[in-house]
Structure 1
Amino acid sequence: MSKRQNAKYKLDRRMGENIWGRPKSPVNKREYGPGQHGQRRKGKLSDFGIQLRAKQKLKGYYGDVTEKQFRATYAEAVRMKGDTSQNLIGLLEQRLDMVVYRAKFAPTIFAARQIVNHGHILVNGKRCNIASAKVKVGDVVELGSKAKEMALVLEAQGLTERDVPEYVSVDGSKATYVRVPTLDEVPYAVKMEPNLVVEFYSR
């Protein structure tokens, strides 16, 4: 299991954007970066800097997946037919922790990963505790009996700040992965630029 080394909202402040669209994000109050030099005028980013930033933002959004995992996902996207940037988003959205998050079984992507790691999620009736496991079209992701009563899960289901996207169909404590989404269908709170991520890795 990859451990998140830094506070999740640090990423928001570093990027100057409310990446997950959460009402508690510090960016809602302070748009400048963290630390004593955070309010200094920002220098113009180079092409490399812009690409690196796009990669850090996308990687951070998916729960700060490790560089090794992210690069492996990119390599798989390259091998697939079609647009690499679309393939990359499709593969990231197929992660089990992401489907749990999209189905509103958890309030944050980090909580979704924790629920999966603790064995509270069933895929097609079988327990799965690997957050990065790939969910296929038609797979049914279900909350375990204990998870249905968890305060975290009940809180997530009552959240009004985000809706369940069309590519995930939720019926109570079960969610079916309907199809692999395109970039336009993914409900990001901020603009993501996977094309810049592709440029970063293909340098």
Structure 2
Amino acid sequence: MSKRESSKHKLDRRMGENIWGRPKSPVNRREYGPGQHGQRRKSKLSDFGVQLRAKQKLKGYYGDISEKQFRKTYDEANRMKGDTPENLIGLLESRLDAVVYRAKFVPTVFAARQFVNHGHVTVNGKRVNIGSYRVKAGDVVAVKEKSKQLVIVLDAVQLAERDVPDYIEADHNKMTATYIRNPVLADVPYPVVMEPNLVVEFYSR
């Protein structure tokens, strides 16, 4: 098992939830945490612990992005007009790697970042290889011509376990996706309950 795969499984076990909704998640078999004392770690969390857990879960879901990058995204959401938790979700979903994942060009969030980093994706016809690149409403994300026949792409398109959400318009024949708008929390097809309001409370302490 690769280091990346191992860390994904650890995160699921630590959270006690199948946060990506994957069929192979170990949580489907064992709901307790990893390690020697995992089965005994059921003590009640403090308010801080609940907030920290919500932050780790949301941050982990998007490929376990760095704390520095996640905090920067929160600060931006906080400066924007409107509801900060909803702004945070909108900013996270507008990441290029998130759009590539939502459009079903690749099977996982982790694969999406690698796919973008390796230069397989264009935005409005220009190659972009930064996973955190912010996609705007109306932008067209496309898989490069040479990359359309990659096994990882062909397999992902056939995945029955998730659908493309309505804020992205995907054409799997052309392998393009138009980002329609920034979603709100209720629009995003998370397999588990995400609580961005607790993330805001965590950073507002």
Q: Same fold (TM over 0.5)?
A: yes
Distance 1:83 1:123 in 2: 28
The answer as to 2:84 corresponding to 1:84 is yes
1:114 Cα deviation (Å)?
Answer: 0.4
Give per-residue Cα distances to partners, 1:173-195, cap 9 Å, x unaligned: 00000011010000000000000
2:122 partner letter: L
Counterpart selection for 1:198 from 197, 200, 204? 200
Distance change (3 Å), C-alpha of 1:201 and 1:35? same
Distance 1:133 1:88 in 2: 15
Paired residues for 1:7-46 under 5 Å: 7-46=7-46
Distance 2:98 2:133 in 1: 10
Listed as ranges, the gaps of 5+ residues in structure 1 are: none
**Any conservation in 1 of the 2:32–2:41 contact (CA below 8 Å)?**
no
1:9 Cα deviation (Å)?
Answer: 1.4
The answer as to 2:189 corresponding to 1:187 is yes
**RMSD (CA atoms):** 1.3
Paired residues for 1:95-114 under 5 Å: 95-114=95-114
Aligned pairs, how many?
201
1:146 Cα deviation (Å)?
Answer: 2.2
For residue 39 of structure 1, give the secondary structure of its aligned residue in structure 2: helix
Instruction: Give the % identical residues.
Output: 74
**Any conservation in 2 of the 1:4–1:64 contact (CA below 8 Å)?**
no
Paired residue for 1:93? 93
For residue 106 of structure 2, give the secondary structure of its aligned residue in structure 1: coil
Listed as ranges, the gaps of 5+ residues in structure 2 are: none
Distance 1:8 1:39 in 2: 19
